[in-house]
Structure 1
């Protein structure tokens, strides 16, 4: 039996109580800092690039892809950068993960959109900018379509009653 584990009377392996609550190893799959060998700066997480019109489905796909890699914290703000002065190793690890996520987001955008977010320094800033710009959808176009549909119905109704 490994020294980090204790066994119970049922033969179940329990964590060593002295290790519970300790920081996770970067090699631990559940650690947000874990980088799989397939994770790299050229990684494309979703098959359909963000073109502006498909933001809702792109966002859902990206959230799923980031969640499977335990990286949502980098875009929702729960994984803040450690202090570079107080924790240089932690900051370097965070920065490496942030850069992979940043690149993965940009790699799944239309080139014009990708160019527009190139100067942000964190994946969270890119995510927030894209959300601000595209989460609204094309409200003006939606209004036009609804108006045209209503006008068409009204003109059809008016024509039918006069005949």
Structure 2
């Protein structure tokens, strides 16, 4: 027999859906958190709220209430995907885009060339040692995927992109 839906039951069900990923931002796992959150929010069709593609309507307009609901959902997802100590910092931001941009600015090191160099060194010095072939392969793939986060070129010509990718894979 199913329990009748009451406001309390609805709140419990809704609050369970606010946790979108197991990766909670803790200050040192930004890349994993970013990738995980991006996948889920894109999958839920709310990524436009993070990019600011949908402009904020005037507060006096009829559209504002609908926009506010649409904006609040990804804000809650973002904040609930952070350690409480970090999430509290973003509770009073007005838009999901503000939260998204502030978190990226503070925690993202995607343009950090020293970290990029560090990953390249780890890739070059990684050995199979006592690992199985599968474990060794997975370690290398994870490092290479991490390197891919540092490069987001916008190619004008697709053939140049293909040439570069072949050259990069050889290195």
TM-score range (shorter-chain normalised) is 0.5 to 0.7
Match of 2:148 in 1: none
Dislocated runs of 4+, deviation >6 Å: none
Aligned-pair distance for 1:91? 0.9
Please, which runs of 5 or more residues in structure 1 have no aligned partner?
Answer: 1-37, 150-163
Residues 1:81 and 2:35 aligned together: no
How many residue pairs get matched? Answer: 108
TM-score, with length taken from structure 2: 0.54
Q: CA deviation at 1:83?
A: 2.1
Cα-to-partner distance string for 1:77-133 (whole Å, 9 max, x where unaligned): 101222222x32x21011012111111100000111111112211111111110001
Q: 2:96 aligns with which of 118, 123, 126?
A: 123
Partner of 1:101: 74
The Cα RMSD (Å) is: 2.9
- Whether the 8 Å contact between 2:23 and 2:32 is mirrored in structure 1 is no
Partner of 2:20: 45
Query: Structure 2: which 5+ residue stretches go unaligned?
Result: 1-12, 123-171
More helix by share: 2
SS in 1 for 2:73: helix
